[in-house]
Chains A and B, each alone.
Chain A
Amino acid sequence: MSDLLNIAGKHYQSRLLVGTGKYADFAQTRAAIDASGAEIITVAIRRTNIGQNAGEPSLLDFLPPEEFTYLPNTAGCYSADDAVRTLRLARELLDGHKLVKLEVLGDPNTLYPNMIETLDAAKTLVKDGFDVMVYCSDDPIIAKQLEDIGCCAVMPLASLIGSGMGILNPWNLQIIIENAKVPVLVDAGVGTASDAAIAMELGCQGVLMNTAIAAARDPVLMAAAMKKAVEAGREAYLAGRMPKKLYSASPSSPTTGLIT
């Protein structure tokens, strides 16, 4: 069965997108990403270290851009201008690469997104030819507006970035998914495999996570668990779950032929 994730016209086998931050070292980053099966990986754009350790390996040595689809992000940006500037540099850095993850934060304590700045940045980036996957609050109206602007995917939070609190408002996510004509991915808040499975069962097209894998006691094993959870959740969604009934008067075993 071919059931591919379609983002901005490109198809992917894996519906699990992973970040590359917070790992012990690059070797662990690589091992976890291999175990996750992810094809799309996020990276941050930062000032290069100058004058120190010129020869030391970089993330790109372990995760060659030819092997993965890079998704440069705007983590740490608190204004539309900073986010746009960062992604224009990312595009140059990655040889004209158009697919990006936009996030504009509003508060350093909660890392909650600033949706006014995000909408502003999204407009500029879409006009500038970027394919914008956008991190957002789980507000169905905002999600629709981001889609109308031309974002290629909307990525509402399940709960706060790095919190591992899981899916706190499945009802909002469901409204967003039902109304969306572009892929909806849960980004942020997944803590363990069941969270990822629930996101997929709700009808998400994919899940993006970083801390849930990197901060697990065994990141590589958790990456493998997340791969299975996303696949299981997707298959359960496609299979169509049975309706919930408070009492079932329909036993699974035959009611005839009982030994009396």
Chain B
Amino acid sequence: MQLIINGKSRDFESANLSVADLVSALKLEGKRLAVEWNGEIVPRSRFFETQLSDGDKLEIVGAVGGG
């Protein structure tokens, strides 16, 4: 399936992907991040149960240096 992640389109072989699977596929496991899925925030506690569909838009954000 195709997902739009942080504004860029990416293809995934699996048609069955949860937010947790995606985080792992992107090698972001264990990083402190927040995920927005089609405009809604997905709490970390729901990463496993949230199933993604073709064309979903995701924002994956973290904290960086800033003033």
Task: List residues of A whose CB falls within 8 A of some B CB.
Answer: 19-23, 29, 42-48, 50-51, 54, 58-60, 65, 70, 72-73, 75, 85, 88-90, 92-94, 161-162, 208-211, 214
Contact = CB atoms under 8 A, between A and B. Distances in A.
Contacts of A85: 36
Contact of B63 (A45, A50, A88, A161): A45
A104 B31 CA distance: 28
Given A89-B41, A92-B34, A210-B67, A54 B61 contact: no
Given A54-B27, A93-B32, A45 B41 contact: no
Contact of A48 (B62, B65, B66): B62
Given A54-B28, A88-B41, A89-B61, A48 B67 contact: no
Interface residues of B, number: 25
B34 A93 contact: yes
A104 B1 CA distance: 36
Interface string B23-67: 000111001111110000101100000000000000111111111
Contacts of A21: 64-67
A19 B28 CA distance: 25
Given A48-B6, A48-B60, A90-B34, A211 B67 contact: yes
7 contacts: A19-B67, A20-B67, A45-B61, A47-B61, A48-B6, A48-B28, A92-B35
A58 B66 contact: no
B43 to A, nearest CB: 6
B66 A20 contact: yes
A72 B31 CA distance: 17
Contacts of B35: 92
Nearest to A55: B27
B5 interface: yes
A162 B64 CA distance: 18
B24 to A, nearest CB: 11
Nearest to B43: A92
A89 B36 contact: yes
Contacts of A93: 32-34, 61-63
Contacts of A92: 34-35, 41, 43-44
A44 B63 contact: yes
Nearest to B7: A47
A83 B67 CA distance: 15
Contacts of A89: 34, 36, 41, 59, 61
User: 7 closest Cβ contacts across the A-B interface?
Assistant: A44-B66, A19-B67, A210-B67, A93-B34, A54-B27, A20-B65, A92-B34
B33 A48 contact: yes
Given A48-B33, A50-B28, A90-B34, A23 B44 contact: no
A92 B32 CA distance: 10
